[in-house]
């Protein structure tokens, strides 16, 4: 969607909690500064402080910033170095993956207590269709209030909610409601809400498209709505022109899809300093493969395509993939394919980032695993599943291979929000 910064904040009484919510059966609930709020919840002494969560290394990226930090101009996706310059007294914390995952599960459980029609967009936001829930829980606005109360009372977190007739408008409503607010956009007032917004509030309008539209004199959603479709077509192409025209008139026929299919599962890590040593890169791929394997097993899926991503020091990015006959969630197998893909690149340049991703996902329960000739019935998958159980009980330090103990060269690379890993397998050294 368009950038959230493009949506003006502030309260308009026409769209307050007392507005007519007849027909407004779509809720968009977005947790406020989620990663930062979870960190502050664990350390209450940080409340009211400029807390910034993300990669803490020199090449880290901000994942979330408290509203106190945002007053200094700190935003998500901003380089950590830039955030430090803007907010030198900020409190910089790494992403605590386990705490975030647990909080996300609790948040989604509250949503599903309200309605089974929940479409998560990320770990901290979702669309809800409350059409059927109204019979038990009352009006949409009352349901939104109850969700916000439960977040405060049960999770000590705040959220912002948009209540509207469509997903697109509900998403804009929650953005306008931030932080810790509730916006209702009545059906008859949808165009009053939409048309004053800047063009980059529309889904699909990034900086480049917004600049193209502005050159044509189209600066607001209302001007897009009243522009000839042919003009839009010449600026952004056929498909995008139709898409923007429909959205500008508030038309969004999409329903809430609770079975939102995960297309891939992956992990990346950015090095603090560029790396050319194959041994370091090999261990990084091993660590990432282990992380991805654990995520696949936790999600109950397997995949057939293993892909790697390599970003060179000059920011050129190379992607390679291989599709195998049998789907897998085994970190050992994922690593072996990843390393084979990397060595085939023959890369000699320094490397800034590496990533591993699995695509072509299917549920584990529907996939029968075919053993190779001579392969034991129980092997790496069972060992990795046992390790999952150990980690679930004792934490990530409960089981580690000797090859990664005391190796600071790898740990220094783990400044990516999704790269804190403790691999199981210890492959032979590269020849």
Which positions are annotated as active-site residues? 125
Angstrom distance (rounded) from CA 378 to CA 359: 25
Report the candidate in 366, 306, 27, 264 with the shortest Cα–Cα distance to residue 164.
Answer: 27
User: Angle at which helices 229-236 and 238-248 pack, to 10 degrees?
Assistant: 130
Q: How buried is 94 (Cβ within 10 angstroms: 0-12 exposed, 13-18 middle, 19+ buried)?
A: middle
Strands 351-363 and 182-184: unpaired
End-to-end CA distance of the chain: 47
Report the candidate in 303, 424, 311 with the shortest Cα–Cα distance to residue 364.
Answer: 303
| 30 annotated binding-site participant | yes
User: Angle at which helices 97-114 and 140-150 pack, to 10 degrees?
Assistant: 150
Strands 317-328 and 301-312: antiparallel
Q: Structure tokens of 391?
A: 């980690």
Q: Label residues 323-336 b or e (16+ Cβ within 10 Å = b).
A: eeeebbbbbbbbbb
Instruction: Give the dihedral sign, CA 134/137/139/140.
Output: negative
Q: How far is CA 132 from CA 17, 135, 138, in A?
A: 21, 6, 10
Q: Structure tokens of 410?
A: 């790898």
**Residue carrying the six token digits 């995520």:** 295
Strands 264-275 and 351-363: antiparallel
* Residue numbers belonging to the annotated binding site: 30, 124
Which residues belong to the annotated binding site for Mg(2+)?
30, 124
């Amino acid at each position: 969607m368009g950038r959230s910064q493009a949506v003006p904040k502030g309260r308009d009484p026409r769209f307050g909690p007392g507005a007519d919510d007849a027909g407004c059966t779509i809720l968009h609930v977005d947790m406020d500064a989620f990663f930062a709020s979870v960190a502050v919840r664990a350390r209450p002494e940080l409340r009211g402080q400029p807390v910034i969560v993300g990669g803490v290394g020199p090449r880290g990226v901000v994942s979330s910033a408290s509203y106190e930090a945002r007053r200094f101009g700190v935003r998500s996706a901003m380089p950590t170095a830039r955030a430090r310059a803007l907010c030198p007294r900020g409190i910089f914390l790494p992403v605590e993956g386990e705490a975030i995952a647990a909080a996300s599960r609790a948040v989604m459980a509250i949503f599903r207590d309200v309605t089974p029609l929940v479409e998560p967009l990320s770990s901290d936001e979702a669309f809800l269709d409350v059409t059927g829930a109204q019979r038990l829980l009352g009006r949409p606005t009352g349901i939104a209030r109850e969700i916000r109360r439960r977040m405060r009372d049960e999770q000590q977190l705040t959220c912002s909610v948009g209540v509207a007739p469509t997903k697109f408008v509900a998403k804009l409503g929650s953005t306008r409601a931030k932080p810790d607010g509730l916006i209702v956009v009545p059906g008859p007032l949808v165009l009053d809400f939409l048309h004053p917004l800047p063009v980059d509030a529309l889904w699909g309008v990034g900086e480049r498209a917004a600049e193209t539209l502005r050159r044509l004199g189209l600066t607001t959603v209302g001007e897009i709505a009243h522009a000839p479709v042919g003009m839009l077509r010449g600026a952004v192409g056929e498909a995008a022109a139709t898409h923007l025209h429909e959205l500008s008139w508030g038309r969004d026929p999409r329903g809430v899809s609770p079975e939102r299919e995960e297309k891939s599962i992956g992990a990346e890590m950015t090095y603090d300093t560029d790396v050319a040593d194959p041994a370091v890169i090999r261990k990084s791929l091993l660590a990432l493969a282990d992380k991805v394997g654990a995520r696949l097993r936790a999600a109950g899926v397997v995949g057939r395509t293993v892909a790697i991503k390599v970003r060179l020091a000059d920011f050129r990015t190379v992607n390679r993939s291989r599709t195998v006959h049998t789907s897998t969630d085994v970190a050992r197998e994922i690593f072996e394919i990843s390393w084979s893909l990397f060595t085939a690149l023959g890369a000699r340049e320094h490397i800034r980032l590496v990533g591993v991703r699995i695509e072509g996902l299917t549920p584990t329960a529907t996939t029968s695993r075919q053993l190779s000739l001579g392969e034991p019935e129980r092997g790496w998958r069972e060992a990795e599943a046992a390790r999952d159980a150990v980690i679930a009980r004792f934490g990530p330090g409960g089981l580690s291979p000797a090859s990664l103990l005391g190796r600071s060269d790898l740990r220094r690379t783990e400044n990516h929000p999704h790269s804190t890993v403790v691999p199981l397998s210890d492959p032979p050294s590269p020849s």
